[in-house]
Structure 1
Amino acid sequence: MLKQLFSLARGQTVDRTQSFLDANALTLLRQQMREAAESVSRARKAVAVAMAYEARERKALEALEAQLADLETRARAALEQGREDLAAEAASAIAGLEAERASLRKVVQTYAQDIAALRQALRQSEAQLAELKRGQRLAEATGKTQSMRAGAQVSARSPLADAASTLTRLQERQKLADTTLQAMSDLSSETSAEALSDRLAAAGMGAAKTTSAEDVLTRLKKDINSN
C-alpha cells in the first residue's frame, strides 16, 4: 500500500508538472528559443575565432616559408663562394625551420578541417533555428487567435444565452396572453345576451333575426300578386 501511495504521489507530481508546462508552453518555448539563438551565436563566434587562429598560423607559415627561401638562396651563395662554414650554419637553421614549417602546416591543416566541420554544424544550426523561428511565429499566432476566439466565445456566450432565454420567455408569455384573450372572447360571446338571443332565434324560438332566401322569395311573390 505504501509503495502504491508513493507511486500515486509521483504520478500526481508528474501530472501537475506536465499541466504547468502545457499551460506555459509558449513562455517556455520563447525562453528555449532565446537559449538556442545564444547557442548559435556562440557557435558562430567559435567559427570566427577558429578562422582568426587559422589566419594567424597561416600568416606565420607564409613568413616562415619566405625565411626558408631566403636562407636557401644565401646558403647556395655561400657554397658558390666556398664558404662551407656559413653554408653549414645556414643548413642547420634551414633544417630547424623546415621542422617548424611541418608543424605549422599540420596546425593550419587541423584548423582548416575544424573550421570546415564548425561551419557545417553552424549552417545546420542556423537552418534549424530559422525553422524553429518560423514554427514559433506560427505557434504564437495560433495561440493569440485561439485566445481571441475563446475570449469572444466566453464574452458573447452569456449575453446571447440571456437574450435567447428572455426572448423565449417573452414569446411564451405573449402566446399565453393571446390564448387567454381568445378564450375570454369565446366565453364572452357564449354568455352575452345578444349571443343567447341569436341562438334562440336560430332554434326557431321567436322571430328570426336574419332573412332567409325562403323569406325573400315569399315576399317577392306577395308583391307580384298584389300588383
Structure 2
Amino acid sequence: MFKLFVTLLRGRNADAADALTNTLALPILRQQLRDCAGGVETARRAVAMVMAYAERERKAAARISAQLADLETRALDALAKGRDDLATEAAGAIAQLEAEATTTARALATYDAEIAHLRAVLADAEARLRDLQRGQRLAIATDHTQRLHGAAAVATLNEAEATLARLQERQSNTEAARAAVLELSASTNAEAMQNRLAAAGCGAPLRPDAATVLQRLKARAA
C-alpha cells in the first residue's frame, strides 16, 4: 500500500511538473533562445579569434619567406666573393628559418582546418537559430490566437449571451404585463360605463331585478 501511495505521489508530481512546463513553455523557449543566441555569438567570436591567429601565422610565413629569399641571395653573393665564413653563417640562419617556416605552415594548416570546421558548425547553428526564432514567432502568434478563442473567452461570451437572453426575457415579460394592465384597465372602464348606462335606464338591464325574477317565477308556476 505504501509503495502504491509513493507511486501515486510521484505521478501527481510528474503531472504537476508537466502542467507547469506547458504553462511556462513560451517563457522557457524565450530564455532558451537567448541562451542559443549567446552561444552563437560566442562561436562567432571564437571563429574570429582563430581567423586572427591564422592571419598572424600567414603574415609570419610571408615574412619568413621574404627573409629566406633575401638570405639565400646574400649567401650566394658571399660565396661568389669567396666569403665562405659569411656563407656558412647565412646557411645556418637559412636552416633555422626553414624550420620555422615548416612549423608556421603546419600551424597555418591547422588553423585553416579549424576555421573551416568552426564555420560549418557556426553556419549550422545560425540556421537552426533562425528556424527556432521563426518557430518562436509562430508559437507566440498561435498562443495569442488560442487565448482569444480559449475556454475563458468562450465562457465569457457564453455568460454575456445568457445575460442578454435574461434581459430580453425580462423586457418581454414587462411588455406583456404592461399590455395586460392596459387591456384590463380598458375592460374595467367599459364595464363601469355599461353599468352606469344600464342604471340610467339606457338599454336592457345588466342584472335581473326583483320584479323580473318574480315574473319569471309566476310564469313557471302557471
Which band: TM-score by shorter chain?
A: 0.7 to 0.9
Correspondence list, 1:16-55, <5 A: 16-55=16-55
Q: Residue 96 of structure 1: SS of its match in structure 2?
A: helix
What letter matches 1:161 in structure 2? A
Percent identical pairs in the alignment equals 45
Aligned length, in residue pairs: 189
In terms of mean alpha carbon deviation, does 31-40 or 168-177 score higher? 168-177
Correspondence list, 1:193-212, <5 A: none
What letter matches 1:111 in structure 2? Y
> Alpha-carbon deviation of 1:171?
5.8
Q: Which residue of 2 aligns with 1:81?
A: 81
> Alpha-carbon deviation of 1:167?
3.7
Unpaired stretches in structure 1, ≥5 consecutive residues: 186-227
Correspondence list, 1:86-101, <5 A: 86-101=86-101
> Alpha-carbon deviation of 1:152?
4.1
Q: Which residue of 2 aligns with 1:132?
A: 132
Measure, in 2, the Cα distance between the counterparts of 1:144 and 1:109: 52
Q: 1:118-142 CA deviation, whole Å, 9 max, x = no partner?
A: 1111111111111111111111111
Measure, in 1, the Cα distance between the counterparts of 2:85 and 2:2: 93
TM-score (norm 2): 0.74
> Alpha-carbon deviation of 1:8?
2.2
Q: Which residue of 2 aligns with 1:153?
A: 154
Measure, in 1, the Cα distance between the counterparts of 2:74 and 2:3: 88
> Alpha-carbon deviation of 1:66?
0.9
Q: Which residue of 2 aligns with 1:63?
A: 63
Q: Residue 134 of structure 1: SS of its match in structure 2?
A: helix
Q: Runs (4+) of structure 1 moved beyond 6 Å?
A: 172-178
TM-score (norm 1): 0.72
> Alpha-carbon deviation of 1:154?
3.6
Correspondence list, 1:204-223, <5 A: none
Measure, in 2, the Cα distance between the counterparts of 1:72 and 1:164: 105
Unpaired stretches in structure 2, ≥5 consecutive residues: 188-222
> Alpha-carbon deviation of 1:155?
3.1
> Alpha-carbon deviation of 1:64?
1.0
> Alpha-carbon deviation of 1:176?
10
Q: CA RMSD in A?
A: 2.9
1:162 to 2:163 alignment: yes
> Alpha-carbon deviation of 1:25?
0.6
Measure, in 1, the Cα distance between the counterparts of 2:72 and 2:13: 77
Measure, in 2, the Cα distance between the counterparts of 1:35 and 1:167: 56
Measure, in 1, the Cα distance between the counterparts of 2:119 and 2:129: 15
